[in-house]
């Protein structure tokens, strides 16, 4: 009997293969030449997800593409878009003696208004606060069960992350003194917001792992209402190249379809069990995005029956309403426009001057999925003049 392939190693072998990548690039160039002949002289493709931006930059995909096929990073970095008041609340709790659990990138996320001179959880830890970096909510649950101190989990994330919180809440796995700072956001409303404001977007590469949960269908509005070719793609370099090819072909045929390139794990309906868990634990509400403001139905909030897990209720904190929300970026920071793809990281005057990965000034320079941080570490693309 043939032994089953190891899909972990196979993914790297196939989807990072130089020869197959060259075949895809060849077809992209062919398609681009035909587009030029049809009078199209510029293509802007938005990759929604921070991990797509990482793959695009890390593997130098921009430099493999024709000069006027541009890839612009979108709002898919949950740490970048987490409003400052969540950071301020977490820092405040940490300084008051609450154990704060957080992911590594949220640990360094700076707030606009410092609390006791602390802008981030990293600063609070320097002052002696108990801030613990964990890989997952499950790790926090295991750790919190070992002590009796009040603790809170800084719950940033998109639809991919929220099933973990929902599963623990619905299955009553959370230790008594652990609560959740619910800062989760939904991606399709932000995609709508971005394409409405960024101007001309020729195609969208939709987030693959978010779509394992929500399915591909929620992205249909991009093709149906905006006539933008949309591809739900995987995260290997050849996944991105194939997605670009699919978009260029649709532009050539002057059509816009929703396509699943990442069919090895994404379906049209998504993960029904995970969606059900989220629905049982969370409501969808209008919510603020950092540097942007409120977007309709774009945030998670714990349902009434689960208030005992809500850190804001437990510690008497309040979230600002639409009227109370204040712009939450430091002066001169362009992250609000970088997030929606309106401005490139390199167009910000602070990029790699005051704002570097070691000394982040804005939120997009903190997370490994932030466009500024990725461009700082891996570069964007050569200038048009250089490649023309």
Partner 1 sequence: MCLGVYGKVLEVKGDLATVDFGGGLVKNAFVGVEEVAVNDYVVVHAGIIVSKLNEAEFTAAFNYLEEAAKQLPTETTEPDEYILRTRKRLETLLGVNTDMK
Q: Between residues 14 and 127, which has the closer beta carbon with respect to partner 1?
A: 14
Output the smallest distance, CB 335 to partner 1, in A: 17
Output the smallest distance, CB 251 to partner 1, in A: 13
How is residue 166 written in tokens?
């929902």
Partners of 185 in beta bridges: 299
Residue 352's Cβ-count burial label (10 Å; 0-12, 13-18, 19+) is middle
Output the smallest distance, CB 125 to partner 1, in A: 21
Read off the DSSP letter of residue 276: H
Output the smallest distance, CB 309 to partner 1, in A: 16
- What is the rounded CA–CA span in Å between residue 31 and residue 248? 7
How is residue 9 written in tokens?
């190693």
Q: Between residues 208 and 299, which has the closer beta carbon with respect to partner 1?
A: 208
The backbone torsions φ and ψ at residue 90, rounded to the nearest 5 degrees and listed phi first, read -65, -40
3 state SS of 232: strand
- What is the rounded CA–CA span in Å between residue 185 and residue 30? 39
Q: Between residues 6 and 304, which has the closer beta carbon with respect to partner 1?
A: 6
Output the smallest distance, CB 198 to partner 1, in A: 20
Partners of 135 in beta bridges: none
- What is the rounded CA–CA span in Å between residue 109 and residue 123? 10
Among 118, 90, 80, residue whose Cα is nearest residue 319: 90
Q: Between residues 33 and 321, which has the closer beta carbon with respect to partner 1?
A: 33
Q: Between residues 325 and 368, which has the closer beta carbon with respect to partner 1?
A: 368
Output the smallest distance, CB 321 to partner 1, in A: 26
Output the smallest distance, CB 274 to partner 1, in A: 5
Among 159, 167, 120, residue whose Cα is nearest residue 141: 167
Q: Which conformational region is residue 321 in: left (phi greater than 0), alpha (psi within -120 to 50 degrees), or beta?
A: beta
Q: Between residues 238 and 330, which has the closer beta carbon with respect to partner 1?
A: 238
Q: Between residues 9 and 323, which has the closer beta carbon with respect to partner 1?
A: 9
H helix runs in the chain, sequence order: 7-15, 18-37, 50-58, 78-81, 84-95, 104-107, 121-126, 137-144, 162-170, 187-197, 208-214, 220-224, 237-252, 272-281, 311-314, 335-339, 371-378, 384-387
**Neighbour count for residue 62 (Cβ, 10 Å):** 17
Q: Between residues 274 and 334, which has the closer beta carbon with respect to partner 1?
A: 274
- What is the rounded CA–CA span in Å between residue 380 and residue 56? 9
Output the smallest distance, CB 210 to partner 1, in A: 6
Q: Between residues 3 and 41, which has the closer beta carbon with respect to partner 1?
A: 3
Output the smallest distance, CB 57 to partner 1, in A: 15
Q: Between residues 138 and 384, which has the closer beta carbon with respect to partner 1?
A: 138
Output the smallest distance, CB 133 to partner 1, in A: 13
**Neighbour count for residue 254 (Cβ, 10 Å):** 9
């Amino acid at each position: 009997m043939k032994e089953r392939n190891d899909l972990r190693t196979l993914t790297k072998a196939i989807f990072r293969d130089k020869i197959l990548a060259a075949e895809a690039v060849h077809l992209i160039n062919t398609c681009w030449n035909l587009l030029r002949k049809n009078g199209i002289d510029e293509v802007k493709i938005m990759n929604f997800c921070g991990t797509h931006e990482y793959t695009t930059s890390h593997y130098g995909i921009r430099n493999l593409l024709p000069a006027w096929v541009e890839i612009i990073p979108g709002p898919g970095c949950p740490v970048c878009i987490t409003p400052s008041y969540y950071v301020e609340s977490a820092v405040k709790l940490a300084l008051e003696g609450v154990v704060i659990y957080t992911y590594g990138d949220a640990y360094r996320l700076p707030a606009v208004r410092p609390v006791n001179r602390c802008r981030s959880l990293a600063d609070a830890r320097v002052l002696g606060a108990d801030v613990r970096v964990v890989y997952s909510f499950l790790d926090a649950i295991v750790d919190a069960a070992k002590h009796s101190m009040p603790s809170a989990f800084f719950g940033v994330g998109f639809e991919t992350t929220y099933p973990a919180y929902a599963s623990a809440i619905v299955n009553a796995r959370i230790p008594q003194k652990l609560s959740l700072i619910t800062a989760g956001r939904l991606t399709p409303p932000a995609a709508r917001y971005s394409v409405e404001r960024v101007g001309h977007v020729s195609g969208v590469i939709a987030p693959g792992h978010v779509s394992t949960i929500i399915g591909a269908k929620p992205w249909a509005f991009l093709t149906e209402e905006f006539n933008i070719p949309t591809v739900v793609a995987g995260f290997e370099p050849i996944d991105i190249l194939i997605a670009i090819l699919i978009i260029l072909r649709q532009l050539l045929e002057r059509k816009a379809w929703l396509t699943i390139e990442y069919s090895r794990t994404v379906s049209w309906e998504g993960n029904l069990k995970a969606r059900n868990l989220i629905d049982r634990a969370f409501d969808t509400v209008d919510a603020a995005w950092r540097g942007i403001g409120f977007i309709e139905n774009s945030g998670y909030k714990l349902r009434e029956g689960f208030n005992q897990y809500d850190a804001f209720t437990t510690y008497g904190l309040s979230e600002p309403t639409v009227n109370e929300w204040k712009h939450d970026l430091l002066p001169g920071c362009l992250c609000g426009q970088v997030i929606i793809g309106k401005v490139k990281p390199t167009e910000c005057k602070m990029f790699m001057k005051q704002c570097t990965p070691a000394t982040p000034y804005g939120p997009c320079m903190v997370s490994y999925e932030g466009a500024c941080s990725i461009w700082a570490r891996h570069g964007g693309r050569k200038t048009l003049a250089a490649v023309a």
